[in-house]
Each structure stands twice: as structure tokens, then as C-alpha cells.
Amino acid sequence: MPALSAVTSRSDAFRFVPSTVEGEAIDASVHEDLAGSLAYLAEHMAPAHPECAGALDAVAARIRDGQRLPPVAFGLYYQMGEAALTGDLDAAADIAQVLAQVPAAPPGLQVMRRGGAEAQALWPVLEERFGPEEAAGFAPVSAELAQEFETRLNDGLALMQKTLPDLHGEITAILREVLLAQAPVGAKMEFDGASHYQFWGLLLLNPNHHKTPLAVVEVLAHEAAHSLLFGLTRTEPLVLNPDDELFTSPLRIDPRPMDGIYHATFVSARMAWAMERMSESPALPVELRHEAARLAAEDRANFAKGIGTVDAHGRLSTTGARIMDQARAYIDGQ
Amino acid sequence: MTKNAPTTAAIDPTRLMGFRVVAAADACEMGTKVGSKVGGKPVKILDLKVGWKPVSKPYASSIMAAKIGLKPD
């Protein structure tokens, strides 16, 4: 079993520009971290629940043999870890048995819809992890709406592969599932995209948004940048500010903790990178390039707002400072 | 499965992915707590990152009669 010193976040090797190789390395590193954590929990559960310990060791062995797990397995791990840390090993053992039954992630990006049979295993775990208030913002979508969006998503991915192959490679290395959902009836606010630390490899997208392939590229660059930060945040927080300190966000209307401001700022830089590369691509029609340039200018403005708050109030960890320095260097043209 | 059997020593959160980060935040007195949820939600550092927008007009007008609201996080 790896000791803590063996766990690295890969943030020391991080480079701002997207990379297929780095995406694959971060994905492998996250899975190795999961395997080590499962083996450690197995050791603790063995005296009271030997059969569960064996099941967890088997999952860890599958991972170390190169198997990749779908997002629901990570959600179940956090459920189990939380139960174990609060002393409820019986509940942890029950969750371990469910986790042990999760099959390997199939190759490629799986698209599923809230309300569809394919999301039946994932949704209850997401709902439990989100909490009832947050989960209520993610309502089912029809099969027709999902099918229409999946076509747009594939068009967007094809556009990205053609114009931004490194970003496409990085995103497809770390993403396994897209869950489509929408606002519930009567909502005044709706999500357009979301990702969650505890569900590695998952994006949630609202098919009522992202109407063009360019918009799909932009939202994928946005959400995958959150995922990338999650993958790099495994040894220490990005920022050391208290959760109850709130600041104006460049991307949201409500005040956010510094961790949220940090994420929004980094994500804006990644979006600017993606849109600027697209605006320079000779393979694209001139109208699309102009639209990409307009979006890039917005992303740069959002970065400027966010970095001002980070610089004024952020207490960055070593990891957080290292990653943000890279984003700043790109924006500053270094 | 053996239920309610005696347990071994306390689990070290620094050996667990994700919880290790929260433990580091605890050490910095960021107001988080390993293994805890606040108001039914995970601590912020392991939380959802979501982009909220006002509901687009055609959708909003078709459901104007509904009274259910969603607070933006």
C-alpha cells in the first residue's frame, strides 16, 4: 500500500497548455490514488468485515491492472469514506459491496440522460452526494432532447478534434460520462454545466444550452478545466481562505468562496486559450473565427476580474500558486 | 457479514483521496471538517462547481404559472 509520501497531485509537473499525455497521466494518478485509498480502507475493515475488505482489495487490484472506473465508483468511494470516518463501518461495508460490483468504464465518452435507464445506477449516488436542495436543480430530460443534444455534442467534439487536438485528447482522457439534465419546472435559475470533485470523469450538461458546435467546445473547455483542477487538488487545497469568506465571482451572480473564485479564474484562462486557438484556425469559416475571438475577449475580461480578487484576497497554497502562475503566464503572453 | 464487531484504530483521513485535502484544510482552520456535511451538503472544497444562468425566456414563459423557485446555490 502506498504511503502518503507516495501520493502526488502532479501539480508540480503541470503545464497550462492542454496535453493528451498529461491528461492520461492525471487520470492514471487519480485512479492510483483511489486504489491506494481502497486498500487502506480494506485494511481497516478487515477485522469486522473480512469479505468487504477482500472485495475492496479486488477493486484496487483491477485498477492497478489498468482498469478505469466510471464516475459512480468514485461517488461510492466518497460515500464509503465518509461512513468509515464517522465510525459507521457497517454502513461502509454495505457500500463497499455495491462498489465492488461496479463494472469497468467502457471505452469512449458515454452520454446519458437524467431519467434514462442508463443513469439509474449513477443518479441515486449523485443525489445523495449533492444533497436534496442542490439535486433538485437537475431534472430529467426527454430521450428526444438528449438525442438532439448528443448530435451537437459529437459535432462539437469533432470540431475540437480538428482544431484543438491536444485539448480534445486531454478531455477524452479524463472524461468518461456526460449526464444531461435540465432545470425543474418553475425554476428561475438553471445550470448550463456542472462538475463535481467526488465524481471523477463526469460532466453534467444542460441540453437547452450550447446550441452550436463552438458553444459545445467552449463549455467542454470550461467544465474539463474544473475536472483538471480536481485531479490536481489531491494533496492540499488550492486556497487556504475560510469557506465562509465570500467574494464577487467573475462567472456567477452570487458571492462565492475563494475556492470558487480560483476555479472561475483558472477556467476563464483555459476558455480564452481554447477560443483564441480557434479564432486563429485557418480551417474554420471566418464567421466562426470572429465569434471565437469575441468569446475569447469575454474570457480574458473574466480572468482579469477573477485574478484581481485572487491577488487581493486569496491565500494560495503551494499547489494553487503554482497552477495559477501558469495560467497568468499564458494570459500575460509569457 | 459481521455486524457491530469491534473496530481497529481510527482511520487516518490523510491516507484517503479527497479526505486528505479536507484534512489539510482542517489543519489550516478553513472551517471544514473531515467526514462532515454542512446542511446536507459536502464541505465546499469537495463540492459541486456549477454555472447558473437565468432560465431562457421561451422556457420560462411556458412555465410562468409555476411558483417553485431555485435559489442560485
Judging contacts by C-beta atoms under 8 Å, the chain B residues touching residue A188 are 54-55, 60, 69-70
Alpha-carbon distance of A198 to A324, in angstroms, equals 22
User: How is residue A268 annotated by DSSP?
Assistant: H
pLDDT, position B33:
53
User: 3-state DSSP: chain A helix, strand, coil percent, rounded to 5?
Assistant: 60, 10, 30
> pLDDT band at residue B8, thresholds of 50, 70 and 90?
low
User: How is residue A119 annotated by DSSP?
Assistant: G
Judging contacts by C-beta atoms under 8 Å, the chain A residues touching residue B50 are 137, 191, 193-194, 204
Closest CA to A70 of A166, A179, A221: A179
Cβ-nearest to A48 among B5, B29, B35: B5
In the block, residue with C-alpha cell 493528451? A20
pLDDT, position B51:
74
Least confident among A137-151, A292-306, B49-63: B49-63
Residues A89-145: pLDDT tens digits? 999 999 999 999 999 999 999 999 999 999 999 999 999 998 888 899 999 999 999
Residues A163-173: pLDDT tens digits? 999 999 999 99
Residues B39-51: pLDDT tens digits? 334 456 666 777 7
C-alpha cell of residue A160: 475540437
End-to-end CA gap in chain A: 41
Q: Which of residues 4-43 of B touch A (CB under 8 A)?
A: 4-9, 11-21, 24-25, 28-32, 34-35, 37, 39-43
Judging contacts by C-beta atoms under 8 Å, the chain A residues touching residue B11 are 40-41, 44, 84-85
What is the mean pLDDT of the segment spanning B6-22? 82
Contact (CB<8Å) A237/B21: yes
Residues A4-55: pLDDT tens digits? 445 666 667 789 999 999 999 999 999 999 999 999 999 999 999 999 999 9
Pairing of strands A246-247, B37-38: unpaired
> pLDDT band at residue B64, thresholds of 50, 70 and 90?
very low
Q: Beta-strand (E) ranges in A91-201?
A: 110-113, 177-180, 189-196
Residues A266-301: pLDDT tens digits? 999 999 999 999 999 998 999 999 999 999 999 999
ipTM field: 0.91
Residue B17 gets the label, from left (phi > 0), alpha (psi -120 to 50) or beta, of beta
Burial of B39 (0-12, 13-18, 19+ CB in 10 A): exposed
Residues A224-267: pLDDT tens digits? 999 999 999 988 999 999 888 899 888 778 888 999 999 999 99
Residue A251: HSE in the Cβ half-sphere, 13 Å Cα cutoff: 29
